[in-house]
Amino acid sequence: MVNTVYLDYQAAKPVDPEVFEEMTPYFSEKFANASSLHTDGDIATEALEASRKQVAEFIHAEDPNEIIFTSGATESNNLALIGYAMRNKKKGNHIIISEIEHISILNIAKYLEKNGFEVSRVPVDFYGRIRLDKLKERIREDTILISVQYASNEIGTIQPITEIGGIAREKGIVFHCDAVAAEDLVPIDVVRDKIDLLTLSSNDLYGPRGVGVLYIRTGVLLNPLLIGGGQERGLRSGTEDVAGIVGMAKAAEIAKSKMEEESARLSELRDYLIQEVLEKVQRSHLNGHPKMRLPSNAHFRFDYIEGESLLLSLKDEGVSIATGSACTSKTLEASHTLISIGLLHEEAHGSLVISLGRWTTKADIEKLIEVLPGIVERLRNMSPLAE
């Protein structure tokens, strides 16, 4: 964060200095392979298993063996969906996801469709909440898996996860939840929420990148995607990245201890930001749910202007944010999440994603509020769509 106001925590978070410190010995004196049988190996094994226990406690898993370490959330999502679908295709070939899943889930679903599975997508309401009546409508005899994210990484809407878990469990369908966007600020309880498979990312807890977790409830069977030395109960071969895993566990411990206080602090900042922007910028709108949203997320759209121009102008003012504009994506398509909540393409193009984090201060928010109205006005004066 070099002299900028960083408000893009959803894209990447810095590693907490305490986490970094905890990891350091595992790059040098505690370097050994956790599979080795000598004393050095034992030290690595102990660190690995202690980390597993910490992460299990973080999500209220009953048994640490339900935690599988991976290379990140993308791998966890792949292992969950492809691993489960391939192993259980005799039970059925129908999978349900929501319309506003993270791009990794959407693309894995497309891959499964090409490989003989049928995928149904459940619509959401204007606030981005999954429509439970429509979810029930889509459940069939041959449905084997439901995958819904805990909260939207884009618009911050938190899903009724306990209800979805209840519906899935009642029908005997395995429920996967991608909790990456929510994990640092929303208390997750896999038992309460009846989650069978859960994806976590280390970086979203202020841990190192390149580490993730898939929680697999005891009794849920998957095929591995990586074949090799049989690490992680044979579900994820490859020598464990002990330093990274220790970092993730420490990050989870810190997140847990700070969660209540940090959620309250960020919610207050978020509400202040939302109130100020809606008041100071004419024809601005909040995307997502007014209350059921991540404490760290504010998502706006501004009539008549385009998101990338906003982003560039804010960049000039030293503010780092993201946009749902097509012009910033690789495909030049408007955000599927914004289309799914019922926005028109031109509205999706004018959106701004603001994500707060552990080092966001009131002064950062003030800075954004100070520069935003002028930028919007300047761009509107240039726009043929404005009055």
Partner 1 sequence: MKSTKYSAKVLEHFRNPRNVGTLKGDDVAIGRVGNPVCGDLMEMYVRIKDDVIKDIKFKTFGCGSAIATSSMITEMARGKTLDEAMEITRQDVADELQGLPPIKMHCSNLAADALHDAIKNWREGIKLEPVVDVPTKATCEVPEYKEIVGLDTFLNKGVYREFSDLEEFRDKRVLVVENGEPSIELAIQLTKVTGRVIFMTPLKMVLARPDLKTELKMSDVKVLLEAELVEVMGGETVEKVKVHDLNEDTEYELFVDAVLMP
Q: DSSP letter at 255? A: H
Q: What is the rounded distance in angstroms from the CA atom of residue 250 to the CA atom of residue 202?
A: 10
Query: Of 366-385, which residues contact partner 1 (CB under 8 A)?
Result: 381-385
Of 225 and 339, nearer to partner 1 (C-beta) is 339
- Beta carbon of residue 279, minimum distance to partner 1 (angstroms, whole number): 15
* Per CB under 8 A, 346 contacts partner 1: yes
SS3 content of the chain, % helix, strand, coil (to 5): 45, 15, 40
Of 236, 270, 349, 367, which lies in the binding site for partner 1, with binding defined by CB under 8 A? 349
Q: What is the rounded distance in angstroms from the CA atom of residue 47 to the CA atom of residue 121?
A: 41
* Per CB under 8 A, 126 contacts partner 1: yes
* Per CB under 8 A, 344 contacts partner 1: yes
| Piece of the chain touching partner 1 by CB under 8 A; list 51-59, 132-140, 156-164, 291-299 | 132-140
Angle at CA of residue 45, ends 42 and 50, nearest 5°? 125
Of 225, 327, 369, 371, which lies in the binding site for partner 1, with binding defined by CB under 8 A? 327
- Beta carbon of residue 337, minimum distance to partner 1 (angstroms, whole number): 11
Of 44 and 119, nearer to partner 1 (C-beta) is 119
Closest C-alpha among 271, 279, 318, 328 to residue 297: 271
Segment holding 315, helix H or strand E: helix 307-316
- Beta carbon of residue 240, minimum distance to partner 1 (angstroms, whole number): 34
| Piece of the chain touching partner 1 by CB under 8 A; list 34-42, 292-300, 344-352, 369-377 | 344-352
- The one-letter amino acid code at 70 reads T
Query: Of 266-325, which residues contact partner 1 (CB under 8 A)?
Result: 304-309, 311-312, 316, 325
Number of residues that bind partner 1 (CB under 8 A): 41
For 338-352, give one letter per residue: b (16+ CB within 10 A) or e: bbbbebeeebbbbbb
Question: Virtual CA dihedral for 185, 191, 195, 199, nearest 10 degrees?
Answer: 40
Here the tokens at position 233 are 């109960």
**103, 186, 327, 386: the active-site residue:** 327
Q: How many CB atoms lie within 10 A of CB 1?
A: 8
- Answer yes or no: are the C-beta atoms of 158 and 182 closer than 8 Å: yes
Site map for partner 1, 133-152, x if CB under 8 A?
-x--xx--------------
Query: Of 52-111, which residues contact partner 1 (CB under 8 A)?
Result: 99
- Answer yes or no: are the C-beta atoms of 177 and 130 closer than 8 Å: no
* Per CB under 8 A, 332 contacts partner 1: yes
DSSP symbols for 177-235 = EE-TTTTTTS---TTTTT-SEEEEESGGGT--SS-EEEEE-TT-----SS-SS-TGGGT
Here the tokens at position 289 are 């749910």
Please indicate whether residue 177 is annotated as part of the active site: no
Using a 10 angstrom Cβ sphere, with 0-12 exposed, 13-18 middle and 19 or more buried, the burial of residue 117 is: buried
- Beta carbon of residue 184, minimum distance to partner 1 (angstroms, whole number): 27
| Piece of the chain touching partner 1 by CB under 8 A; list 52-60, 104-112, 239-247, 331-339 | 331-339
Of 282, 342, 370, 374, which lies in the binding site for partner 1, with binding defined by CB under 8 A? 342
Of 48, 146, 190, 334, which lies in the binding site for partner 1, with binding defined by CB under 8 A? 334
- Beta carbon of residue 95, minimum distance to partner 1 (angstroms, whole number): 17
Of 140 and 258, nearer to partner 1 (C-beta) is 140
- Answer yes or no: are the C-beta atoms of 73 and 209 closer than 8 Å: no
Chain centroid to CA 60: 18
- Beta carbon of residue 346, minimum distance to partner 1 (angstroms, whole number): 4
* Per CB under 8 A, 387 contacts partner 1: yes
Of 271 and 308, nearer to partner 1 (C-beta) is 308
Q: What is the rounded distance in angstroms from the CA atom of residue 270 to the CA atom of residue 158?
A: 15
| Piece of the chain touching partner 1 by CB under 8 A; list 177-185, 236-244, 249-257, 340-348 | 340-348
Of 84 and 302, nearer to partner 1 (C-beta) is 302
Q: What is the rounded distance in angstroms from the CA atom of residue 223 to the CA atom of residue 242?
A: 24
Footprint of partner 1 (CB under 8 A): 99, 123-126, 134, 137-138, 304-309, 311-312, 316, 325-330, 332, 334, 339-342, 344-347, 349, 381-387
Q: Which residues are catalytic?
A: 327
